[in-house]
Structure 1
Amino acid sequence: MGLINGTCYECSCSNNANPISGLLDFICSPIVCNATCQKGFEYETVSGQCCGKCVQKKCIFTASDNTVKDIEVGRTSRDVVGDAETRSCVDYMCKNLNGQFVVQEVRTVCPAFNPSNCEDGTERTDAGGCCKTCTPKSFCNLISEEVEVIKGDCKTKFNQTSCVGGCASYSKYSAREKRMDHKCECCRENQVVLERLALTCEDGSKIYQDHQVVKSCQCTGGRCIEWETGGTTR
């Protein structure tokens, strides 16, 4: 093996003598180096040798879709899994630890997200750039549950109504006013009536007791009270 005009050759003597000179021929053939490297590796020449070698330069990992990917040291690659309602992200970070290429995985599982529960035009990605979020729609619903009213040996059952829901509230900095701006709403009764309940006693007699019954609910604004720490409450 030798280097001739920048090209490596592998030389050997032939088995048959040259018919003219009577000497064995010296046959040389160029050496073809395989410079094709797998993903994440690069071909580098080696001083004093005809052929170089493949040297790892990037981290290699298998993504969730079973594809093999590479990533440079210090860089991060994101793999998004699932749809908007069941979204999760895997961040792959490449590190070189004493010559060893290591892939660190950080998985983010997003909370359930339903665009139909959002105020129009408020959908956005959170600060981490993975999960979807929005300003939820306000809702305030009237619900009822059967309860038993007891007074002494007299009792009755009736449907007690109440208000349940999530109403618009926020706390954000106003650059225009140079202060925190707050909005506080809560789900509360809108219409209440007084109903008289008849409680049946063990001897068959009846007594009567008045109860307030919620007939309708709505989101109602209120004044946000400042905490000493700068937070707010209602």
Structure 2
Amino acid sequence: WEFWSPPSDRCVKYECTKTNNQFIVVESKLECPVFRPEDCVPGTEKTDANGCCTTCTLISHCDVKNTTTYLEVNNCRSSVPVEISACGGSCGTSSMYSAEKNTLMHSCSCCQEMSTSERKVEMVCPDGKKIMQSYIYIDKCGCHDSECDKKNHLD
């Protein structure tokens, strides 16, 4: 037989095994990742299959970041500074042991654009010629699920 005793920060597994015609209780401990309810999307808290560790969907802090600069393309420069956008911030990533699958379960997401628009700006070239240049502006950023990189282990 076996059972788990779940305190708040780690679980203790007790297993009864027979060794040399004697029954002994073997104790093993599972450390849980740090759980901060204030970092969770409300209502997404859940426990693993053993009822030991609590996880949730993390609140993302992935937002549009703006900077103002002159654009330069093929030696031509924008006649005015333009607002350039980028996505930046944190998204939820985790790695947690699953007793049910006896492996580490990975969850990764990436802060990237969710919607964009095309903008145009007048460019002035060295010969005085003026051209219109389009560029992509990020309107909204968000967290998108992505593949977690697998580490290569050396034997």
TM-score bin, normalised by smaller chain: 0.5 to 0.7
Pairing partner for 1:147 from 61, 69, 77: 69
Given the alignment of the two structures, is residue 118 of structure 1 paired with residue 39 of structure 2, yes or no? yes
SS at match of 1:166: coil
Q: CA deviation at 1:182?
A: 0.4
The 4+ residue runs of structure 1 with deviation greater than 6 A are none
Aligned partners of 2:70 and 2:77 also within 8 Å? no
Query: Cα distance 1:228–1:153, how it changes in 2: closer, same or farther (>3 A)?
Result: closer
The amino acid across from 2:84 in the alignment is Q
Q: CA deviation at 1:226?
A: 1.4
Q: Which residue of 1 aligns with 2:89?
A: 165
Q: CA deviation at 1:186?
A: 1.1
Q: How many residues align?
A: 105
Aligned partners of 1:140 and 1:219 also within 8 Å? yes
CA RMSD of aligned residues (A): 3.0
SS at match of 2:89: strand
Matches within 5 A, 1:15-94: none
Unmatched runs of 5 consecutive residues or more in structure 1 = 1-114, 123-134
Q: How far apart are the structure 1 equivalents of 2:153 and 2:60?
A: 27
Deviations along 1:125-174, whole A, 9 cap, x unmatched? xxxxxxxxxx9632211111002112425433210011111111001110
TM-score, structure 1 length as denominator? 0.39
TM-score, structure 2 length as denominator? 0.56
Q: Which residue of 2 aligns with 1:225?
A: 149
Query: Taking CA–CA contacts closer than 8 Å with sequence separation of 6 or more, which of the two structures ends up with the larger relative contact order?
Result: 2
Unmatched runs of 5 consecutive residues or more in structure 2 = 1-35, 46-56
Deviations along 1:96-141, whole A, 9 cap, x unmatched? xxxxxxxxxxxxxxxxxxx89522698xxxxxxxxxxxx9632211
Question: How much identity, in percent, do the aligned residues show?
Answer: 24
